[in-house]
Structures are given as structure tokens and as C-alpha cells.
Structure 1
Amino acid sequence: MMTKGFLSLCIILMSSFYSAASIAKPLSYWDKSNLSMVQDVDHSQWQHILNSYLIVGEDSTAMTLFNYQGVTSADKIILKQYLTQLQSINPLQHTKVQQQAYWINLYNALTVQLILDNYPVKSITKLGERFFSFGPWDDDATVVNGKTLSLNDIEHEILRPIWQDPRIHYAVNCASYGCPNLSASAFTASNIEALLTAGAYAYINHPRGVTVKGNDLEVSSIYKWYSEDFGDNEKALIEHLQRYAKPELKQALQLFQQSPGDIDYEYDWRLNKAE
């Protein structure tokens, strides 16, 4: 049984992790691009993995699940080949939009690879090489341009600060029920804008993203961990949610603005596996 002291320590470590992540500065090395690059990165191998193992609901807001157990040895090799291909590319030779798709796909493919390497596992938070680590996000995950990067490096020192788009949070997937969906389509320069918006729409209109309970709101802890990305105050957050909310939810959010109650934050770290 977890003692109160140990639980408190975990909470402190988690708070430190998310606080540090929220104030990350862009790495100037990565904030460069080649405007003349026409050819996009080939993400067809990642699309093959998504087509084969991602379980997508009929509704556009349904949660997507991943069939980790069903991944064949041949497809594990394909995923490794895809990651090797991405590591061999210099993303700085691509346009900014090509880079954004590159980093999102790399993050998501690395996360799936990480789960496959450790499967079966109940939660990604059970992984991690560091003492008292809450998950694997600070572990070395890949090498790009000779630089070793963790998942946190990709998200908090490249994607978030360089693009400064809150929809990034709906694109990168942490292999958990509480996380926004793993996209059924690989991100590319031509579809990234539509996919970022679709991800926001799907998450906000699903109960794990936003739930109205009387005069109170229950929302994902993502909106607390990264509050500065969503305006850093309740009014800005509600406006962000309304931007992508279906009519019924949008009306409920308007009523909450008029007569605000409490906002509770929840997150489900169970693995997003298909049963």
C-alpha cells in the first residue's frame, strides 16, 4: 500500500514536472526551416501501423484505442524502420509545417514503440528509467541531427514553444485513456491544420475532455497542467472550449460563464489499449 508520505512525494514530483514543462523555452537550434523544400517526409509506414492497429469509433468524437497485443513481429519491424528513417532526416531542411508534422508523428510513433517494448503494462506511468520517475518522458528516446532527445524535449522544447498552438495538446498522444486521441491519419503538411482542429473537436466534445455537471465543470487535467497555453485564466479556457464545442456543450459553457461554479480536473492514466 502506498504511504501518505510517498504519495505526497509523488504529487510534488508531478507538480515540478508539469511546472517545468510549462515554462520551457524554445531551443533556437530547432527554430529554423527551409522554405524552398517541396518534398514532404514520407510517413506511409506510420500510416500502415495506424491503419492496422488503431481502433476508431464511428462517431467523430469517439475515443481511439490501440491494439498493442495484436501488433505482428513484421509490423514491429516496420515501425522500427519508420523511426530509423525519421532519425536519418534533418528536419531543419524542411518547411515549418513539414517539421510540425514530423515532430508530432515522431512523438506518437516513439510512444507506441515504447509501449510495445514494455507490453503488457497497465499504464505508461509505470515506465521510466529515472529514480522516482513518473513515466518515461524524460528518458532518452531518439537521436535527431546527432542530438539526443526525450519525449519531453520534443513536446515542451520544440513543438509547444516554436509553434505556440494549443492544439498541439490534441495531437501528441501519451497512450492513456485520458489523453486526446491518437490520430487515425499520419500528420502531413497538407492535412495538419485539419487534423489539429479535428483533434480539438473530438477531445472537447468527449466526456474525458469536458463534462458539465450542474453548475460545475469537470475537465481534463491537461487544461491545468498547461494552463498558459489556453490563456492562463478560466475565461480564456472557456472561450477556447467553446470554439470547438458542439451546440449543446457550447450553450452549457455559456451558462457556466454566466453563473460559474467549480472547475474540477481529472485524468485517466490507464493504457489506451483495445480490449
Structure 2
Amino acid sequence: MFSFRRALPLFTVLILLSFSSAPMAAPKADLWPFWQTSNPQSTTTVDHSAWQSLLNTYLLVAPQQTRFRYAAVSPQDKSSLNQYIAGLTSRDPRRLNRNEQFAYWVNIYNALTVKVILDHYPVSSITKLGGLFSFGPWDEQLITIDGKKLSLNDIEHRILRPIWQDKRIHYVVNCASLGCPDLLPEVMHADQINAQLDGAARRFINSPKGVDDKGGQVRLSSIYDWYQFDFGSLTDLQKHLNRYRKQPVTLTSPRYDYDWRLNEIR
């Protein structure tokens, strides 16, 4: 996702935070060249079973929304999550092939997001985290890999988006909010990436939080506003949406909205 820079005056930040649908500018894709290297010949696979086990235990999948049972996570499973993340950070992802890399970065992003919530729980919204002058924790350096400190924004906007250049990435990285595309019920698999990306896109675009078309009055997720650079013009966006929509939508002057409340269930 994105965050406001710390240079903003406190008064301005407080005013902006009071409007969940206020216009916001998301970070641009800005390649971090260090992470661009891969090993096409590598047959090494990364074990994400610990993350899958947590999803199986605490993620509730419903027709329109997946929710996470943060309050129910046991101390043992919190430790398991920490160990899983530590195991990933001890690897050099540049030695993996491209598909394994993609699965690596998506899974570590989503696992880190859940860890951030658990580390501060109870909290009503991820936007409440990250310090007084921040809109969320996305700029916080949470992990170190190969001697490089990384934030969630680094993973999404400096690695995933610029390297893979696939708009469907927005459907598989989760921000722990009700307005966000659902947290994947299955870990990202290197040998199923395209199918999982299409499935996540289809689920979000056919949900009211993605596209809500009532009598021609179309409300879209603010994701399509924040990331216009990725999705293109309204014509381009309409074509993208209708590739996955059960009922085609026509875009003229859509409204945008986003629900930042925590995606939890007790």
C-alpha cells in the first residue's frame, strides 16, 4: 500500500486521516536493481507450509470477504509465524528462479502484514500503526535480507511491481483491511502463479468492494484510483475489469471508496 511522508505537518495528517476515501497518491514503481537478479536454472523450492498452516487455522473464507482471527492466534503460532519469516529472511532470493521469487515476495509480504497486526493487536485499523506522523506501517523497515533493510513498501513498489509489471499483483498483496483484496487462503505457489493471480483478480472484481455497479452508478475500489499508472485509462481499466467480470461494467465517471477497518473476525 502506501504511507504519508513524515514531513507532513501533524495538523495536515490528522485532517487527512479523518477521511478514509480522501484522494491519496500511492508510491510509484521504482525498481531496486539489487533485487532484479535471478537464477533461471535454479530448481530450489521454498517451503511455505508454516504460513499455510496459519492460514488454514485462522483465516475464515466467506463468499465476499476473508477475515483473519487475530485475537485467537496462540503464542505458539505467533512463534511459528516469526520463525517462518526468519527462515525466509535467511535466504538469498536472488538465487531462486523468477517464479519462486514471486511466491517468496508475495508470501513474505502477507505474512509480515499479519505479524504487524499481531504485534500491535488489538487495533481497529492498520492505518493506526506506524507512528504519529505515518499513515500505516508501510515505510517501516521490518526485515533484513542479504544485509538490506526492507519495508512493505519496498517489497511491493520496488520489487514486485517494477520487476514483474503485472497489474494483478494488486490482488494478491494484502493490507489487513476490509477494502483490500482478500488475503489468499492458499500460499502463493511458484507453479500456480498465473492461475492464482487470475483467481484473485476474479474474486475481487466480482465483489462489491472491488466493483459495485448499481443501476449504472459504479463505485470502484480506490485501488483503481491510486494505481492509475498500472491500470491505465478508464477504457483500459474497463477492459481489464470486464475480462474477469461476470456482468460487464461500463465506466464513465466512477466513484472510488475504500474501507480501512481491520479484516478481523473474533
TM-score (norm 1): 0.88
Deviation at 1:95, TM superposition (A): 0.4
Deviation at 1:194, TM superposition (A): 1.2
User: Would the aligned equivalents of 2:25 and 2:226 in 1 still touch at CA under 8 Å?
Assistant: no
Q: Distance in 2 between matches of 1:154 and 1:70?
A: 28
Match of 1:239 in 2: 239
Letter in 2 for 1:27: W
Q: Distance in 1 between matches of 2:57 and 2:194?
A: 24
- Following superposition of structure 1 onto structure 2, how do residues 177-196 of structure 1 map, counting pairs within 5 Å? 177-196=178-197
Closer/same/farther in 2, CA of residues 187 and 4 from structure 1, 3 Å limit: closer
Structure 1, 185-194 or 107-116: larger mean CA deviation: 185-194
SS in 2 for 1:271: coil
Q: Distance in 2 between matches of 1:213 and 1:52?
A: 36
Letter in 2 for 1:32: T
**Is 1:44 equivalent to 2:49 in the alignment?**
yes
Closer/same/farther in 2, CA of residues 8 and 179 from structure 1, 3 Å limit: closer
Closer/same/farther in 2, CA of residues 128 and 192 from structure 1, 3 Å limit: same
Match of 2:124 in 1: 122
Letter in 2 for 1:34: N
Q: Distance in 1 between matches of 2:16 and 2:74?
A: 41
Task: After superposition, give the CA deviation of every residue in 1:191-210 in whole Å (9 maximum; x if it has no partner).
Answer: 22211111000000000000
Task: After superposition, give the CA deviation of every residue in 1:7-48 in whole Å (9 maximum; x if it has no partner).
Answer: 15877xx86751xx12x3211111110011112111010001
Deviation at 1:215, TM superposition (A): 2.6
Indicate the structure with greater helix content. Answer: 1
Q: Distance in 2 between matches of 1:225 and 1:71?
A: 32
Match of 2:75 in 1: 73
Where has structure 1 moved over 3 Å in runs of 4 or more?
Answer: 2-6, 8-11, 14-17
Match of 2:201 in 1: 200
Match of 2:4 in 1: none
User: Would the aligned equivalents of 2:24 and 2:226 in 1 still touch at CA under 8 Å?
Assistant: no
| Count of aligned positions | 255
Closer/same/farther in 2, CA of residues 134 and 9 from structure 1, 3 Å limit: closer
Deviation at 1:273, TM superposition (A): 0.1
TM-score (norm 2): 0.91
User: Would the aligned equivalents of 2:42 and 2:95 in 1 still touch at CA under 8 Å?
Assistant: yes
Closer/same/farther in 2, CA of residues 79 and 4 from structure 1, 3 Å limit: closer
Task: After superposition, give the CA deviation of every residue in 1:62-103 in whole Å (9 maximum; x if it has no partner).
Answer: 211000011011101100000000000100000011101100
Match of 1:267 among 242, 245, 258: 258
Match of 1:7 in 2: 15
SS in 2 for 1:133: coil
User: Would the aligned equivalents of 1:212 and 1:218 in 2 still touch at CA under 8 Å?
Assistant: yes
Query: Unaligned 5+ residue runs, structure 2?
Result: 1-9
Letter in 2 for 1:80: N
User: Would the aligned equivalents of 2:171 and 2:181 in 1 still touch at CA under 8 Å?
Assistant: yes
Match of 1:156 in 2: 157
* Aligned alpha-carbon RMSD (Å): 1.9
User: Would the aligned equivalents of 1:50 and 1:185 in 2 still touch at CA under 8 Å?
Assistant: yes
Task: After superposition, give the CA deviation of every residue in 1:150-173 in whole Å (9 maximum; x if it has no partner).
Answer: 100000000001100011000000
Match of 1:105 in 2: 107
User: Would the aligned equivalents of 1:208 and 1:267 in 2 still touch at CA under 8 Å?
Assistant: yes
Q: Distance in 2 between matches of 1:243 and 1:39?
A: 34
